[in-house]
Amino acid sequence: MSEITWSAKAKEIFDKVITNLPQFHRSIAQTLVKESAQELAKAKGLASVEEKELIEAFFKEIPPAFKDMMERLFTKLNIEYEKYNL
């Protein structure tokens, strides 16, 4: 399968969230979440990573101890993660 693309919305959210993560977590989250989002999109037969797969990847890759922090960050950035029932 060819390289998967990213929707403009997913790319915007990814950049916004990564920029707002603590420096210590930023690089590892950037790599893990990016790979995970692409794998999720491919598994669903999608041509691109959409907002849903990106948010799903963040919650899949972030350790459970940081889930509350992630939810607060999404809320602060006006990202409607709740609509995906993750």
Q: Does a structural domain hold residue 84? A: no
Domain count, the chain: 1
**pLDDT digit string, tens, across residues 47-83:** 999 999 999 999 999 888 888 999 999 999 999 999 9
The answer to whether the CB of 18 falls within 8 A of the CB of 30 is: yes
Q: Does a structural domain hold residue 63? A: yes
Angle (CA) 42-48-49 rounded to 5° is 80
* pLDDT of 78: 94
Kindly report the pTM of this predicted structure.
0.89
Domain range enclosing 46: 5-79
Query: Which comes out higher in pLDDT, residue 85 or 77?
Result: 77
The answer to whether residue 1 scores a pLDDT higher than 60 is: no
